[in-house]
Structure 1
Amino acid sequence: MKESNVQTELNVSGMHCANCAISIHKYLENNGAKDIYVDFASDEVKFSEIPLEQIPVLVKGIESLGYKVIEGKDKKPSFWKSIEFKFLCCLIFTIPLWSHMFTDLPILHDPYIQLALCVPVYIIGFSYFGISAFRSIWNKMPNMDVLIFVGSTAAFSYSLIGTYYNLGHDYQFYETCATIITLVFLGNVLEKRAVTKTTSAIKELVKYQDIPAIKIEDDQEVEILAREIKSGDILKVNSGNQIPADGDILEGQAWVDESMLTGESVPIEKLKYDAVIGGTLLTEGNIRIMATKVGSKSVLYQIIQLIKDAQSKKPPIQKFGDKVAAYFVPIVVTISFFTFFITYFIAQLPLQQSLMNAIATLVVSCPCAMGLATPTAVMVGLGRAAKKGILIKGGSTIEEMSDLKQMVFDKTGTLTTGDFNIKAIQTFGIEQSQVESIIAQLESYSSHPIAKSIRKQLKEIKSYRIIFKEVNEIKGKGIFATDTNGNNYSICNAKLGEKDYSNRYDLALTINGVVIAGIVLEDQIKPYAKELIQYLKDKGIRPILLSGDRQSKCERTAQKLGIADVYWDKSPEEKLEILFKLKKNGPTAMVGDGINDAPALAAADVGISLGDSTHIAIQSAKVVLLSNDLKSIEKLLKIGHHTLLTIKQNLFWAFAYNIVAIPLAAVGFLGPMLAALSMAFSDLIVIGNSIRLRFKKIK
């Protein structure tokens, strides 16, 4: 059986710009790979849907493009093979070569000295840009190196011919060749370092996976690393230390700062049997925990993978930029050819001037800026959101959020606290204490917010304990159980029994189909709920309440919050049907708890899961809010808006730069050296604007 759905990870060296990443991405895409993620800054390449036996073929294909697949994630090329070293070598020879323009030293004006200084730079440039250019053309995917190599080779060849035939100073452009190569190397170095800053959010999270831990083994304390922890290990965590793994508290109590996950800076009290998350900080107290989830099963690992996967999902706006970049190199080469033809044969400019204009046209163009415009902004936007406890699944989600027309809310646990107070229990022919004990015992089988709230208020009494042989929870309906004597119990929505009690009660407790108690619950509006609804209205987004609760409660909640559109008494299936109808009116977001609302979350244009980062929430929703704070939704929309704005600014600059710079170079207003400098820094402007999003004050 072919394992084609397994994700493959490769470490690929030799990528030095966004255009390199695009070339590899296009190659993998043409060969049937899916979920492709290529990051030239970290040398990471990921893809899926390729059978294991075909991986070696793809590896050879990537290497045929001019890159090197390195075995082992931690193996990195040495400094002597790095782009930084190549830049320094070129700089040493280029400075004296370039300085002849500002000095009268005869030795620097000697053409053979200039040739000697230029040759090492050209050889380094050929080994780096030239080989890559030839391979990209051979594979029918010309990259930016074609432009650099053709431009520098034209200047070198023209100068070499002038030196051989002793044609004089007008034929000496060695400094042009060397400066082009050196400045492009400089641009690549700065670009790679700048792009690395956009991925800092992930790197900060990864650091949490490699923290020290104290393992209790045979009553002895042993220091190990977090990566060595196994499920079931007993760990000691002291005040001021980071919790090394996901686990449950066995002894002690503590206050834990979970801000690195939720963005909430206020520490949370943790007691015996409470769950803790690896990477969070124990600010006060001492505890012993049993590790439950380690390695790829940990919450932190899943979050890191979620962010990485999100970065690989391109928004539609990026696909447009990628298409343009793919055809960019052939177009620029054509423009350069016509520039030379027109200026020399039609305008009858001198040969050297025509050649310099053509070279400048090649060198000034910058497809990398278009390639970097979207992914750098998405990386920073996703990272900023993650720091606030907001996990966004991909750049496409960011774009979808900008077009939202409606936002649908579940009520219980979303707009309301989910911490229900039992307002009243009406019993029918049975003791109050016995009813409370049965209710507490049945609700212990559910993780629903209502069940959790009820269990806090009611206690199970041993004398009334019932031994159940079968218990089933049907989402949206209730809990159904059978005891060892064959009696049937249920605690469910009050309207589901033989007689509808929903006009008086929220829940009904039955034994063998007979209602023995009715329960009235009351819920509290969440902090900031009213402000969020008003914010949505101000932004032209229609808020809608869609709940399984009864009419009176839904209308009361909607009235308090100012929501005009209300749906009540809806099952998960009915919620799904309503959501499909609403989507016909425009892009729609759904906000729910990620459990009962999972189908609706998955079907919405943007599903937003509020609350704990449960597995089903991560699978169903496009956005996971690790905190239960409704203000996170406002932050989400603002970060999404500013990220999309940054993408548009970047693309505008990338297109505007090329539209203006290429004609200027073609008519001779930009020389090759100035063209190389402006090309190198056009990338940095795009990256700098993306990094600005990281620190930008969002009101």
Structure 2
Amino acid sequence: SIEQAVERGIVIFDETVFERLRDVDVVVFDKTGTLTTGQMDVLEADAPSDLLAIVAALEQRASHPAADAIVNTFAQRNQEGDRSRADGGVADGSDHKYAADITEFTSHATGVEGVVEDTRVLVGNLDLFAELGWSVSERIETRAAEARTAGHLPVVVGRDGHAEGVIVVGDEPRVGWDDTLTHLNDRDIEIVVLTGDDEAATDFLDSHPAVDHVFAGVPPAGKTATIRRLQSRGQVTMVGDGTNDAPALATADLGISLGGGTALASDAADISLVDDDLAAVGTTFDLADAARRRVKQNNGLALLYNGITIPLAVTGLLNPVFAMGAVVATGGLLAANSFRDLLTE
């Protein structure tokens, strides 16, 4: 079964995975980068151009698809600069590096803050600005609310204590996300979605009949806490892709990481999907069930053989030569049955 999983782009790191998959009660999906492509694009930007360049310089140190979109759109290209991230990764941007004098950097649950070229810059959601006491105009609050209503992510940007604009970013659901959730729900598995986005950005998930619960506005640390709470209901599997999913993947009873995710996510998971194909999540569960059925079939064949040949051999009604032939034939039949494709039944 492990070999057949690998042939389908499913890498199993623990031989007990199939046994544990059959006991799963809840599957938790991260939203951004897992149920959606994670390839965010800047849809609109309403902020001073010089601030956008400074924001892009700061976002090089962040680890989130929205940060990548901002960097790729607004960062000034240069031959020198530090593109290192707080998580040890490197910001997207091909072979370009972006120069900036960043003297302070702080990563918050819902944004980043720092000093860039002697200017204190804050990038994040409205709650972060309110938490840190930065002023936000009614115009910016209205624009952010409109973006959330449209299902997009508004990123508020400001400097020196005042919000000055909004960058609207968004991504698209992955191909097959609908079928995957429906398939798991048909197995009587509870489906939960976690996201750091606002509730408005999760409407398409919240209204889906296969989704039992959507937890919005969950910071990275909150994902782990949510997994622990859900474990009181039964066995929990977490599906994620990003660095901030790694603790939750490790905490869950089973972790599944997408192939396009970060190395930390893969290291924390029990299963890695080589391709970013959500359908492989359902296939993994199908393989686990099929492997159990195949074991039962083989056990049944073995019992049938023993039930027939042993009494006949004991009573002397079965020639020893025929008994040996039956052993060989039964062994071959069991081997052939074991190597058949699990999902062709």
Which of 266, 271, 280 is matched with 1:632 structurally? 280
Task: State the match for 1:383 in structure 2.
Answer: 3
Partner amino acid for 2:321? M
Q: TM-score, normalised by structure 2?
A: 0.79
Task: State the match for 1:468 in structure 2.
Answer: 102
Task: Determine helix, strand or coil for the equivalent of 1:409.
Answer: strand
Task: Determine helix, strand or coil for the equivalent of 1:521.
Answer: strand
Partner amino acid for 2:344? K
Task: State the match for 1:677 in structure 2.
Answer: 325
Task: State the match for 2:16 in structure 1.
Answer: 396
Deviation digits for residues 452-489 of structure 1 (CA, Å, limit 9, x no counterpart) = 23333334277x96311344545x4333333464x433
Separation of aligned partners in 2, 1:438 and 1:452: 14
Separation of aligned partners in 2, 1:595 and 1:658: 53
Task: State the match for 2:289 in structure 1.
Answer: 641
8 Å CA contact 1:492, 1:507 repeated in 2: yes
Which of 113, 133, 136 is matched with 1:480 structurally? 113
Which of 479, 492, 508 is matched with 2:124 structurally? 492
| CA drift at 1:511 | 2.8
Separation of aligned partners in 2, 1:619 and 1:598: 8
8 Å CA contact 2:192, 2:214 repeated in 1: yes
Structure 2: runs of 5+ lacking an equivalent: 79-97, 147-152
Q: Give 1:164-563 correspondences, 5 Å limit.
A: 381-427=1-47, 431=48, 433-460=49-76, 466-473=100-107, 476-483=109-116, 485=118, 487-497=119-129, 498=132, 503=145, 506-559=154-207, 563=211
Q: How many residues were matched structurally?
A: 310
Partner amino acid for 1:548? G
Partner amino acid for 1:422? V
| CA drift at 1:426 | 3.6
Task: State the match for 2:344 in structure 1.
Answer: 697
The change in CA–CA distance for 1:532 and 1:670 in structure 2 (over 3 A counts) is same
Partner amino acid for 1:678? A
Task: Determine helix, strand or coil for the equivalent of 2:44.
Answer: strand
8 Å CA contact 2:245, 2:265 repeated in 1: no
Deviation digits for residues 491-532 of structure 1 (CA, Å, limit 9, x no counterpart) = 234322235867567323243443333333333222111122
The change in CA–CA distance for 1:681 and 1:413 in structure 2 (over 3 A counts) is same
The change in CA–CA distance for 1:600 and 1:465 in structure 2 (over 3 A counts) is closer
The change in CA–CA distance for 1:513 and 1:665 in structure 2 (over 3 A counts) is farther
Separation of aligned partners in 2, 1:615 and 1:520: 28
Task: State the match for 2:316 in structure 1.
Answer: 668
Which structure shows the higher helix fraction? 1
Separation of aligned partners in 2, 1:637 and 1:540: 12
| CA drift at 1:561 | 7.0
Task: Determine helix, strand or coil for the equivalent of 1:543.
Answer: strand
| CA drift at 1:562 | 5.0
Asked if 1:604 is matched to 2:252, the reply is yes
Separation of aligned partners in 1, 2:186 and 2:344: 20
Separation of aligned partners in 2, 1:436 and 1:645: 58
8 Å CA contact 1:530, 1:561 repeated in 2: no
| CA drift at 1:691 | 0.8
Deviation digits for residues 395-421 of structure 1 (CA, Å, limit 9, x no counterpart) = 321122223332111111111121223
Separation of aligned partners in 1, 2:327 and 2:210: 53
8 Å CA contact 2:240, 2:265 repeated in 1: no
Separation of aligned partners in 1, 2:317 and 2:50: 92
| CA drift at 1:617 | 2.5
Task: Determine helix, strand or coil for the equivalent of 2:344.
Answer: coil
Partner amino acid for 2:164? I
8 Å CA contact 1:437, 1:461 repeated in 2: no
Task: State the match for 1:276 in structure 2.
Answer: none
Separation of aligned partners in 1, 2:297 and 2:242: 35
8 Å CA contact 1:491, 1:509 repeated in 2: yes
Separation of aligned partners in 2, 1:572 and 1:482: 24
The sequence identity of aligned pairs, in percent, is 29
Separation of aligned partners in 2, 1:384 and 1:619: 22
Task: Determine helix, strand or coil for the equivalent of 1:525.
Answer: coil
8 Å CA contact 1:613, 1:625 repeated in 2: no
Deviation digits for residues 222-280 of structure 1 (CA, Å, limit 9, x no counterpart) = xxxxxxxxxxxxxxxxxxxxxxxxxxxxxxxxxxxxxxxxxxxxxxxxxxxxxxxxxxx
Separation of aligned partners in 1, 2:320 and 2:265: 54
Separation of aligned partners in 1, 2:330 and 2:106: 62
8 Å CA contact 2:114, 2:120 repeated in 1: yes
Separation of aligned partners in 1, 2:266 and 2:36: 22
Task: Determine helix, strand or coil for the equivalent of 1:418.
Answer: coil
8 Å CA contact 1:478, 1:490 repeated in 2: yes
The change in CA–CA distance for 1:465 and 1:603 in structure 2 (over 3 A counts) is closer
| CA drift at 1:582 | 1.7
Comparing both chains, which one has the higher relative contact order based on Cα–Cα distances under 8 Å and sequence gaps of 6 or more?
Answer: 2
Partner amino acid for 1:598? A
Cα RMSD (Å)? 2.8
Separation of aligned partners in 2, 1:522 and 1:665: 72
The change in CA–CA distance for 1:480 and 1:654 in structure 2 (over 3 A counts) is farther
Task: Determine helix, strand or coil for the equivalent of 1:545.
Answer: strand
Deviation digits for residues 618-657 of structure 1 (CA, Å, limit 9, x no counterpart) = 3211111111121222222222221222122223333443
Which of 243, 259, 264 is matched with 1:595 structurally? 243
Deviation digits for residues 313-349 of structure 1 (CA, Å, limit 9, x no counterpart) = xxxxxxxxxxxxxxxxxxxxxxxxxxxxxxxxxxxxx
Separation of aligned partners in 2, 1:478 and 1:583: 29
Q: TM-score, normalised by structure 1?
A: 0.41
Task: Determine helix, strand or coil for the equivalent of 1:395.
Answer: coil
Deviation digits for residues 8-61 of structure 1 (CA, Å, limit 9, x no counterpart) = xxxxxxxxxxxxxxxxxxxxxxxxxxxxxxxxxxxxxxxxxxxxxxxxxxxxxx
Task: State the match for 1:349 in structure 2.
Answer: none
Which of 673-682 and 619-628 deviates more? 673-682
Partner amino acid for 2:16? S
Structure 1: runs of 5+ lacking an equivalent: 1-380
